[in-house]
Chain A
Amino acid sequence: MATRREKAERLGDEDLMPLIAERDAEAFEVFYDRHGGIAYSLAYRIVGSRQAAEDVTQEAFISIWRSGARFDPTRGSVRSWTLGIVRNRAIDALRRDSGKAPKLDFDDDALLEQRPSEVLTEDEVVRRDQAAGVTGALQELPSDQSKVIQLAYFGGFSHSEIAEMLGMPLGTVKGRMRLGMEKIRMRMAEGLQ
């Protein structure tokens, strides 16, 4: 007879979520085994230290465990929902640790002074990409589009913060975000990724 764990392993992510909502620890263990690695990797990419990434990942998964019923399948996959939670937790941790105010007022030099080394500045984002050899859709984008997307998604910067940081009009930043995201999506739709 199959164990609870074996039964859970046969289920798709969406069918695991109701079990997690019912406090099924085996289902949650399967869920972690499927997504814990990428969650930890994403957290590390954002917060920049293994200990902080571990804390963020644990916080995020405990949050999911306690609120599994809040997953809404109409808004995307379990995987993307999980990554969204991890990303938001990591950005919160980044801001908490750096004492980042909701809205910043800085120039490039002041930015470097105000933020601790682990906070992702423009250069840090680019450096980490080079060091880590990031693969995937972002590599295909023009660097000006890739940069604003990475600053927003991995650095937690708003478009107006990015505009100030890079010294470019707000509309240009927003336009590059949109163009870049649309290109990534189109390439995915074309099956080129």
Chain B
Amino acid sequence: MSEENRERRGEDVAAYAIGGLEPDERVELERHLAECEKCRRDLRWLAPAVSSLGESVERLEPPPSLRRDLMEAVRNEAGRSRPAATPDRPRRFGGFLLRPAIGLAAVALIVAVGVVAYSAGGGGGETVTSRSAPNGAVQATLERTGDSGTLELAGLSQLPSQEVYQAWVQRDGRMEPSSLFAPRENGTASAAIPRDLDGARRVLVTVEPRGGSQAPTSPPLVGVGVRS
């Protein structure tokens, strides 16, 4: 990289860190970041400075109603979705999942031991259902017909405008990018997997920067086995 390009990248990284890039520039830089360790290092180095901007504001006391309403919503959801065995079981598994280097393998393992059900569909289609772990909040069903299929999801959160859900086809240890999608207001979504399911091991979903990625940049939220 020339000195001029290096200088420009350094400026782009700083602008990116504080949310100052145009959307198309942001996508381009994120692609570059996926390949450039130096720029990733620069971004990590700047992160505390970005955080200090948020910390620099005048402190206000949030209204008690905010905490009350938030915790009421959270307790309602926790009551609906907490697994029966959760309270006393060891917590280390969740921490293990958060480590990116092994997160993907961990999710594959979790899904392999999770709730998986197969049922024959009409017209040569096949339905495979799997529930995510450890909290089971996101559910996914793959409706497969031949080499293509549709991933039906429920329990998805709404994402900020600069993020999008992306489907991936896992095959021979590789992750091949597939469709981008956004959830409906009720947290459901349908994602087309237009091809390449033959020989695939699993279909997974991650959160990616808007515009998608060529390789996953976050741990999978859910995965569905593809029956050969």
Q: Which A residues fall within an 8 A CB radius of B?
A: 4, 14-15, 17-19, 21-25, 28-29, 32-33, 36-42, 44-45, 50, 53-54, 57-58, 61-63, 65-67, 69-77, 79-80, 83-89, 91-92, 102-103, 132-138, 148-149, 152-154, 156-160, 162, 171, 174-175, 177-178, 181-182, 184-185, 188, 193
Q: Which among A40, A65, A159 is the interface contact of B60 at CB below 8 angstroms?
A: A40
User: Measured between C-beta atoms, what is the minimum distance from B11 to chain A in Å?
Assistant: 4
Contacts of A37 in B (CB 8 A): 59-62
With A and B bound together, what is the CA distance between A37 and B57 in angstroms?
11
Cross-chain pairs A/B with CB under 8 angstroms, 10 sampled: A24-B86, A29-B71, A32-B71, A37-B59, A62-B70, A69-B94, A89-B160, A153-B20, A177-B14, A184-B53
**Contacts known (A45-B58, A77-B51, A159-B15); A50 close to B20, Cβ less than 8 A:** no
**Contacts known (A72-B98, A74-B100); A22 close to B135, Cβ less than 8 A:** yes
Chain B, interface SS category: helix
Interface contact B78-A25, CB-CB below 8 Å: yes
User: Measured between C-beta atoms, what is the minimum distance from A3 to chain B in Å?
Assistant: 12
With A and B bound together, what is the CA distance between A61 and B14 in angstroms?
27
Chain B, Cβ-Cβ closest to A151: B20
Chain A, Cβ-Cβ closest to B96: A18
Q: Which residues of chain B from 1 to 37 have a CB within 8 Å of any chain A CB? A: 10-15, 17-23
Contacts of B46 in A (CB 8 A): 181-182, 185
**Contacts known (A69-B135, A178-B14); A132 close to B52, Cβ less than 8 A:** no
Interface contact B66-A36, CB-CB below 8 Å: yes
The verdict on B50 contacting chain A, using a C-beta distance below 8 Å, is yes
The verdict on B82 contacting chain A, using a C-beta distance below 8 Å, is yes
Q: Which among A70, A89, A102, A193 is the interface contact of B219 at CB below 8 angstroms?
A: A70
Q: Which B residues fall within an 8 A CB radius of A?
A: 10-15, 17-23, 44-63, 65-67, 69-71, 73-75, 77-78, 81-83, 86-87, 91-95, 97-100, 134-135, 137, 157-158, 160-162, 207, 218-219, 221
Interface contact B98-A57, CB-CB below 8 Å: no
Interface contact B91-A22, CB-CB below 8 Å: yes
Q: Which among B52, B71, B86, B100 is the interface contact of A188 at CB below 8 angstroms?
A: B52
Interface contact B137-A66, CB-CB below 8 Å: yes
Interface contact A159-B20, CB-CB below 8 Å: yes
**Contacts known (A18-B94, A36-B66, A85-B160); A137 close to B56, Cβ less than 8 A:** yes
Contacts of B58 in A (CB 8 A): 41, 45, 132-134
User: Measured between C-beta atoms, what is the minimum distance from A80 to chain B in Å?
Assistant: 4
Interface contact A63-B157, CB-CB below 8 Å: yes
Interface contact A136-B55, CB-CB below 8 Å: yes
Chain A, Cβ-Cβ closest to B89: A22
Chain A, Cβ-Cβ closest to B48: A188
**Contacts known (A136-B56, A138-B56, A152-B15); A58 close to B69, Cβ less than 8 A:** yes
Q: A38-B54, A137-B53, A182-B46 are in contact. List 19 more A-B contacts (CB 8 A).
A: A18-B93, A25-B71, A33-B67, A38-B55, A40-B66, A44-B57, A62-B74, A66-B137, A73-B99, A76-B51, A88-B162, A91-B19, A134-B56, A134-B57, A149-B18, A159-B20, A174-B14, A177-B15, A182-B49
